[in-house]
Amino acid sequence: MNHFWNEEEGVFELVFNERKDEQSASESTDDDALSFKYTLFVKPGEKWIQIFTDVYPVSKIPEEKKQS
Is residue 65 pLDDT above 70, yes or no? yes
Chain segment 26-36, per-residue pLDDT in tens? 655 555 677 77
Q: Please name the amino acid found at residue 32.
A: D
Domain spans of the chain? 2-65
Q: Please name the amino acid found at residue 27.
A: E
Is residue 5 pLDDT above 90, yes or no? yes
* Residue-by-residue DSSP string for the chain: -EEEEETTTTEEEEEEEEESSSSPP-GGGTT-TTEEEEEEEEEE-SS-EEEEEEEEEGGG--GGG---
Chain segment 38-60, per-residue pLDDT in tens? 888 999 887 888 888 877 777 88
| Cβ atoms of residues 14 and 3 within 8 Å | yes
